[in-house]
Amino acid sequence: MAPENGVRTVGHGADAGTVAAVMIWRDGVVRGVRASWDGAVELDVEIVGDGAEPPLAGGTRVRALAYVDLVGEPVAGDRVTLSAAALARGLGTGGYAMVVALPDRLPADPPAGPGHLVKARYTPLQTMVLGVDEQESEHHETLREADDLGGMPVVVADLHSAVPAVLAGLRTVDPSLRVAYVMTDGGALPAWFSRTVAGLRAEGWLAGSVTVGQAFGGDLEAVTLHTGLLAARLVLGADVAVVAQGPGNLGTGTRWGFSGTACGEAINAAATLGGAPVASLRVSGADPRERHLGVSHHSLTAYGRVALTPADVVVPRFDAGSDLERAVPAGLAERVREQAAGLTAPAGIHRLVEISTDGLAEALAASPVRLSTMGRGLEQDPAAFLAAAVAGVHAGRLATA
């Protein structure tokens, strides 16, 4: 099927109209660099081409993102090939045009080196990395028979936005604890997409990151969550690991159709490897959707149905009386406690742990990176960040006990 006006539709199955993968292509010219952080450059790009239709017609200026390790480093005046379907459809986290190539200035071949793990496999931008667990790695022997996390606390969270809040809580216990972020592949695949990880790493809040599954771009690469957790402990020397997907979770409004089901599998992995799984609840006092108000159905399903081993489910106790806690809607604390109770005995298998939010308003305000979840900041939805922070407090206490 030939592309028309920059759009190519590829159908699958007997009826090509029933299931289709849509790519929207555009040519553009870089007009300027907006920002950059580890592994990524944000660009101002002008769409070019007479055949391009709205909302991405010729002459339109768009934000575009380039991963420099994949496509090279664009500069003003470069021609770029863009993938723009997410931008055209108005997706939130995916609201960039993505740079696929600099067709007039392809990067040089990388120097020969070890590594044969292919991630984002069989996509046009599949990338080969050195896995911490593969035979060519200097850490292969360390991990070859490794099977024990030695009781390391593993905090599991649904949304990427929970990561800095978990760390803020943990640091109120002991800021010297080494923390590794283990990024799963339910959201963004490149860790470079996350300004949060770059900022936390720069400020010393993270000792390092491990990208697992199809995700890539971390300080270490691993094939599975299991080897990722072991690498966090045995290679990075982490006292605590935080497991969460990259930015851009996927949900469909159905009971099972969301990427956060992986939280339950992460609880299983941590327990299987002799870690101390800590379940961070996805909580909101501002989400207009009933299924996400209080404890999100994502947490209730992942921890209540997918997780098959016990974990500490951490519930915030809003009792410190700060301005931030007074902004938590009336009745939300009781709703969260009642919902979480369904995950613990006798109905469930988990242990309920209530932690005061005392001191966490100040800790969250000191975050070196912007706090934002589903487009809402700390003041708009304080319960979301306080709920994540208490999980960090509990993990810190376990690590220092």
The more confident residue out of 177 and 17 is 177
- What is the model's pLDDT at position 8? 34
- What is the model's pLDDT at position 93? 57
Kindly state the helix (H) or strand (E) to which residue 65 belongs, with its residue range.
strand 61-67
Please give the full DSSP string across 188-250, using - where no structure is assigned.
Answer: -SBGGG-HHHHHHHHTTS-SEEEE-TT-B-SSEE-SSHHHHHHHHHHTS--SEEEEEE-S---
Residue type, 10: V
The answer to whether 62 and 33 have CB atoms below 8 angstroms apart is no
- Say yes or no to pLDDT of 2 above 60: no
- What is the model's pLDDT at position 20? 59
- What is the model's pLDDT at position 91? 72
pTM to 2 decimal places: 0.92
- Per-residue pLDDT, averaged over 103-119, amounts to 92
The whole-angstrom separation of Cα 96 and Cα 46 is 13
Q: Which of 108, 103, 129, 135 is nearest to 117 (CA)?
A: 129
Separation in Å, CA 223 to CA 75, 185, 214, 219, 271: 34, 11, 8, 14, 19
Domain boundaries, the chain: 7-101, 140-400
CATH class of segment(s) 140-400: alpha beta
**Residue range 267-314, pLDDT digits in tens:** 999 999 999 999 999 999 888 888 888 899 999 999 999 999 999 999
Taken in order 24, 190, 399, 302, the sign of the CA dihedral is: positive
Q: Could you tell me the pLDDT band of residue 200, with boundaries at 50, 70 and 90?
A: very high
- Say yes or no to pLDDT of 3 above 60: no
- What is the model's pLDDT at position 345? 82
The more confident residue out of 52 and 36 is 36
The whole-angstrom separation of Cα 75 and Cα 77 is 6
Q: Could you tell me the pLDDT band of residue 315, with boundaries at 50, 70 and 90?
A: very high
Tokens 């080196």 belong to which residue? 113
- What is the model's pLDDT at position 92? 60
**Residue range 220-249, pLDDT digits in tens:** 999 999 999 999 999 999 999 999 999 988
Please give the full DSSP string across 306-354, using - where no structure is assigned.
Answer: I--S--EEEEEE--S--HHHHTSPTTHHHHHHHHHHTTBTTTSSBEEEE
Pick the CATH number of 7-101 from 1.20.140.10, 2.40.50.140, 1.20.120.1150, 3.40.50.300: 2.40.50.140
**Residue range 114-156, pLDDT digits in tens:** 999 999 999 999 999 999 999 999 999 999 999 999 999 999 9
Helix (H, G, I), strand (E, B) or coil at 44: strand
Q: Could you tell me the pLDDT band of residue 47, with boundaries at 50, 70 and 90?
A: very high
**Residue range 9-44, pLDDT digits in tens:** 333 444 444 455 688 899 999 999 999 999 999 999
User: What whole-number percentage of the chain has pLDDT above 70?
Assistant: 94
**Residue range 322-363, pLDDT digits in tens:** 899 999 998 999 999 999 999 988 889 999 999 999 999 999
- Three-class SS of 111-123: CCCCCCEEECCCC
How many CB atoms neighbour CB 148 within 10 A? 12
Helix (H, G, I), strand (E, B) or coil at 85: helix
Q: Which of 91, 87, 69 is nearest to 28 (CA)?
A: 87
- What is the model's pLDDT at position 10? 37
Tell me which of 30-34, 49-53, 180-184, 245-249 is least confident.
49-53
The whole-angstrom separation of Cα 205 and Cα 197 is 9
User: What whole-number percentage of the chain has pLDDT above 90?
Assistant: 80
Q: Which of 145, 401, 146, 398 is nearest to 277 (CA)?
A: 398
Q: Collect all residues with Cβ–Cβ distance below 8 Å to 191 and sequence separation of at least 6.
A: 39, 183, 197, 209, 211, 215, 216, 217, 218, 246
Q: Which of 378, 238, 245 is nearest to 302 (CA)?
A: 245
- What is the model's pLDDT at position 288? 86
The whole-angstrom separation of Cα 48 and Cα 120 is 29
